[in-house]
Amino acid sequence: MRKHAPKEFKGETGRIIADFIAYGENTLKLSENTIKNYVFYLYPFYCHMNSRGIKQINEIKTTDILSYVEQMDPHTLAKKHCSLNVLRIFFRYLYEHYILTVNYSHIIPKDNYRSQPRLPSTFTDQEIDALLNAIDRGNPKGKRDYAIILLATKLGLRASDICGLRFENVIWERNIISVNQNKTGKMLELPLLPEIGNAIIDYLKYGRPVSQESSCFLQIRSPYNRIQVNDLGNMIRKYLTLARINYSNRRSGPHALRHCFASALLKANAPLPVISEALGHKNMASSMLYLRIDISSLRKCALEVPLVPSLFYKQKGGYFHE
């Protein structure tokens, strides 16, 4: 498979774009996906500026920006929407950091695109049990993976927070897990369930390699760095396959297991504010997405369709009129 050439930002304009991306990554602590989006959507703009002979960022004019917007594919609505949003953020940064004296973010047109979030992927209780039973807990890797998947399915922790879990986050004397969430920056306290606590202890005592690394979960091979988000996705798909669970039409990463936790709360008739707090959302609007998978509650909202009077079918000129 042919790999795409790396996106390199060169010259004065490229340096400023790279500085903006580094600012988002190091100062604002934006997520890895957000940073990737910045690179993905700013690189075509950078290439467009180069094609117009712009070497300095202060050479950019309104016509240059609008010419780039005009050449966007009108049929890729979602991509265009994201690109415009990233450009808006970029030019606001340039103005607020006194790199440009004009705030060009105001001239970037707005669109009326409204994304429809995909229906969350979930697995049944039986599938989750099969997934956990597929893990061989007789070896260090299995002990680690079992504890990780329990954290995702029983507490709904995000993959980034599982990978970043440190010893000080597990407060044994209070039986809680306390993390500063990587995505939202919001503190989250969750109960340290006996099942999860025992699995973590089993891994720390009999599975974790000797290391000065402060993160709980480490890779199996030397130099025993902390696990990464991509490791979790591959791990879960491996055990889904071992458990013979068909996931071809569903998402199969760690976020799908987080959805299972939300689904379990819905089945237990937990109030929406409780679900929002347990998932660590900033507001309940994010949690409302999961209401669409609560089929039993949705059925209660269904209205009966009134019967059509028989005279309707016999009216003159009607399809059934004789």
Output the tens digit of pLDDT for each of the chain's 322 residues.
Answer: 345 567 789 899 999 999 999 999 999 888 888 999 999 999 999 999 999 999 899 999 999 999 999 998 877 888 888 999 999 999 999 999 999 999 999 999 887 766 655 555 677 888 889 999 999 999 999 999 999 999 988 888 888 888 889 999 999 999 999 988 887 788 888 889 999 999 999 999 999 998 888 899 999 888 888 888 888 888 989 999 999 988 887 777 777 787 777 776 666 666 566 666 666 666 555 545 555 555 555 455 556 677 777 776 667 665 555 5
Read off the pTM.
0.56
Spatial CB neighbours of 261, under 8 Å, sequence gap ≥ 6: 152, 153, 154, 155, 156, 278, 279
Active site residues: 158, 183, 255, 258, 281, 290
Residue 119 in any domain: the answer is no
Cβ proximity of 136 and 97 under 8 Å: no
**What's the alpha-carbon Rg for the chain, to the nearest Å?**
26
Q: Do 136 and 268 lie in a common domain?
A: yes
| Residue 175 backbone class (left: φ over 0; alpha: ψ -120 to 50; beta: rest) | left
Does residue 179 sit in the same domain as residue 227?
yes
Domain that holds residue 32: 11-106
Asked whether residue 16 falls in the same domain as residue 144, the answer is: no
The whole-angstrom separation of Cα 240 and Cα 252 is: 8
CATH, residue 153: 1.10.443.10
In a domain, 111, yes or no: no
Residues 69 and 183 in one domain: no
**290 and 239 in a common domain:** yes
Residues 211 and 289 in one domain: yes
Nearest CA to 192 among 147, 229, 237? 147
244 burial level (CB within 10 Å; 0-12, 13-18, 19+):
exposed
